[in-house]
């Protein structure tokens, strides 16, 4: 999922999402997104494809 799709789901702008991704460790980012996601999903960023993927 690209920034512009995940950001509204988490109640953020794409730039705010990128800022948090850069500020937090990958583990912290998953936890932080899990707390914001309406379905309680954690998300991680994969550099390989430039997209966010849900974490179970």
User: Which residue range is the domain that position 50 belongs to?
Assistant: 3-55
Are the beta carbons of 21 and 32 closer than 8 angstroms? no
Exposed, middle or buried by CB within 10 Å (0-12, 13-18, 19+), for 41?
Answer: middle
* Tens of pLDDT, residues 5-53: 999 999 999 999 999 999 999 999 999 999 999 999 999 999 999 999 9
Name the domain count of the chain.
Answer: 1
- Kindly tell me if the per-residue pLDDT of 56 is higher than 90: no
Q: Could you tell me which residues are beta bridge partners of residue 55? A: 42
Strands 42-46, 51-55: pairing kind: antiparallel
Residue 34, beta-bridge partner list: none
Residue 38 phi/psi, 5-degree rounding, is: -60, -25
């Amino acid at each position: 999922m690209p920034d512009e799709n995940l950001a509204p789901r988490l109640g953020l702008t794409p730039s705010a999402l990128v800022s948090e991704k850069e500020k937090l460790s990958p583990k912290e980012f998953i936890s932080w997104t899990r707390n914001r996601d309406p379905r309680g999903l954690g998300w991680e960023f994969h550099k390989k494809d430039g997209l966010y993927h849900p974490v179970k």
